[in-house]
Structure 1
């Protein structure tokens, strides 16, 4: 019984513990799978946003490059008339310095493009690391799950065997107790007859003793009678002969 019911080391306690560990393992797998899915959704959205940002920057660069190229052509064409134009003509036309400003804007956009590309690369790298860590963790959890299932199966098999042994032992004890009860019942049933036999035996013994005493007394009385003595004397004479 101890090997089955012991609080910490009994088979039932070990089965409960193993089942609890299996449940925790299953919950861990579910939680990690859900978290990985959530992280992947965020990764996909982040990468999509970064890709869109790069496309927008590239589009802006192309538009600005065409614009500043056309401005440069106009500045070059108008440079020929600058000698006869008023000194403020460039400012009024708005051409002065536009090509230089355009170069600064394009450099800024190129920097944004480069940083966005780096962020996308970092996002891909982080996703790979997270996926590898998830796969390693799931492999460990599934291995642990397999071991726990084997252990649980072994414990349940041992419990079934011990319960069978206990049942058989209990059955033998009950049979012995039943036999004892049956014998006691039989003895109780025959007790009146046994008591009668015992009492009759004592009575017969008493009667036999009384009869023996009476016979001895009668014998002594008989020996004392004249007839017995005459008979004895006659037998002696016969033995002596003529």
Structure 2
């Protein structure tokens, strides 16, 4: 399962310190919840069958204070995010539980739960010089990735969406992250967790404060983007709508 992860890849490298020991424990035969629990006592993981039938996953986490995990990369990466950003994950779960209490778990999730799902599955954080932010928010891809290319040496990207991390085990050009629309203190995990947990309010999330970033366009994330025709693909690098 985790043996194929290349921790030198730029999207996995920030997760190596927390992820490699868990992967090693899994390779040695530990169950997923046991391997994750051994990495940190701050979050308790349980087997998937601990989740009662007809009980919402998010509600169970809120009520029990435990996180069910299944074998596979999806829950592996979700567990790593819990280990590194526990305050943020608990805050998002709290907001999920509040939304469920208010509106139930019917067909429509509502704007807050929708936004949480988008970010939790596909989110990323960016610490970058102001000109890169301006180009990103304008979706001016040529300026962002070509004209301002040298500035990426001073930028830091952290993929926090566990579904996107899972997909990046087999990267494709069209993979696009939803980046939190504001500079994040990516370099300090404790500070980052506190900052992001504070940013996550129902009012803010309801606005879907994200901006798209095709991650393989980031310099150094794909050898193919060294040829600037890589960015001519309008199906991936889409202009901002009027």
- TM-score tier (shorter): under 0.3
Which structure is higher in helix share? 1
Q: Which has the higher strand share?
A: 2
User: What is the TM-score of this pair, normalised by structure 2?
Assistant: 0.16
